[in-house]
């Protein structure tokens, strides 16, 4: 007998969400979705959630289990038990509509912003054949193409918790699907737009989206691939790109990170407004004795670090 602690919400009856416990004998081999269905069919028909294919294809049944997003039809219920119970909540970073069903509109709005469709240089398709792509060319976008838009990565994204202007991992993974497509003719324009505020450089590299993704899409890795393309296309006029380039230059030059030079180069030497914004931060660091030393202490294997960069340059 397991206890399912389900977060309920029905604004027509009660303004605040609350938890309701259901007891259920978990059938052998039952998924979390199977258990939700049994609760709905045998205990409370008003329990609301989304589901469709039950085969980890449609992405409809994503919820939070024990604090993290999962695809309910993909996870064995017994594997989620913690002290005989499972806590089930709606996806994060989206407003609940009723019980476990959330409003996906902000999610889809951000997908639309990355222009998720091909923009070939020649808008007229060839008359005698399709636009061809080799297996090697498809491999570049293969992982991103597996995304099922379940919203699990969006739910647990740490940046979206504090900045709802961030495009989010799902939209950026979808963007890589077209940035990396050999048939698309707007690569530079795409990466320039994606390098703006709320884009690729606002990712904090926590990789939580990779942990939650139920497919091989792995959004964080797709974001890193867009960053690489942006740098290769010379889209350097933003803090994120300047930060990455400054980091590499510092390590390549000395084998150490120059923490005094990094924020200045990241902001841009001619960005007077941005540089002035750094002054209060620098003063607070000095007062708290957190400022990095002007002359860095030596580190072990510094020559080895520089050698690695030389090998990469080759």
pLDDT of residue 11: 94
Please list the ranges in the chain whose pLDDT falls under 70: 297-298
- Residues with Cβ < 8 Å from 290, sequence gap 6 or more? none
pLDDT of residue 57: 96
**Cα–Cα distance, 207 to 222 (Å, whole number):** 11
Full set of structural domains in the chain with CATH: 2-102 (3.10.20.30), 105-122+133-232 (1.10.1060.10), 239-313 (no CATH)
> Where do runs of H (alpha helix) occur along the chain?
32-42, 105-113, 135-142, 152-155, 158-162, 169-179, 187-194, 208-212, 219-232, 239-254, 261-267, 272-287, 302-313
Structural element, H or E, at residue 60 = none
Which tens digit of pLDDT belongs to each residue from 151-189? 999 999 999 999 999 999 999 999 999 999 999 999 999
**Tokens 């320039």 -> residue:** 192
pLDDT of residue 84: 96
Q: Is 17 exposed, middle or buried (0-12, 13-18, 19+ CB in 10 A)?
A: middle
pLDDT of residue 308: 87
pLDDT of residue 128: 83
pLDDT of residue 307: 86
pLDDT of residue 304: 86
Selection from 133, 165, 134, 157 nearest residue 223 by Cα: 157
N-terminal to C-terminal alpha carbon distance within the chain? 62
Residue count (the chain): 314
Selection from 150, 168, 175 nearest residue 225 by Cα: 175
């Amino acid at each position: 007998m397991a206890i399912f602690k389900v977060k309920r919400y029905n604004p027509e009856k009660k303004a605040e969400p609350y938890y309701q416990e259901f007891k259920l004998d978990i059938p052998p081999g039952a998924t979390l979705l199977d258990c939700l269905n049994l609760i709905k069919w045998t205990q409370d028909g008003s329990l609301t959630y989304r589901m469709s294919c039950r085969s980890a294809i449609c992405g409809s049944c994503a919820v939070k289990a024990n604090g993290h997003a999962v695809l309910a039809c993909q996870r064995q219920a017994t594997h989620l038990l913690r002290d005989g119970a499972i806590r089930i909540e709606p996806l994060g970073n989206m407003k609940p509509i009723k019980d476990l069903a959330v409003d996906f509109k902000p999610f889809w709005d951000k997908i639309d912003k990355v222009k998720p469709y091909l923009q070939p240089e020649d808008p007229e398709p060839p008359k005698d054949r399709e636009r061809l792509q080799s297996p090697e060319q498809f491999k570049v976008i293969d992982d991103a193409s597996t995304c099922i838009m379940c919203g699990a990565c969006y739910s647990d994204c740490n940046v979206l918790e504090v900045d709802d202007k961030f495009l989010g991992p799902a939209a950026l993974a979808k963007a890589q699907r077209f940035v990396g497509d050999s048939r698309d003719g707007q690569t530079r324009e795409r990466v320039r737009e994606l390098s703006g505020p709320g884009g690729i450089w606002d990712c904090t590299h926590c990789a939580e989206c990779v942990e939650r993704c139920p497919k091989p899409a792995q959004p964080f890795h797709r974001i890193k691939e867009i960053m690489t393309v942006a740098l290769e296309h010379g889209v350097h006029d933003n803090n994120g790109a300047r930060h990455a380039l400054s980091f590499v230059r510092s390590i390549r030059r000395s084998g150490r990170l120059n923490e005094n030079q990094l924020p200045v180069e990241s902001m841009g030497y001619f960005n007077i407004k941005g540089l002035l914004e750094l002054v209060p931060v620098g003063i607070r660091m000095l007062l708290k004795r957190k400022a990095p030393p002007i002359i860095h202490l030596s580190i072990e294997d510094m020559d080895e670090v520089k050698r690695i960069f030389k090998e990469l340059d080759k």
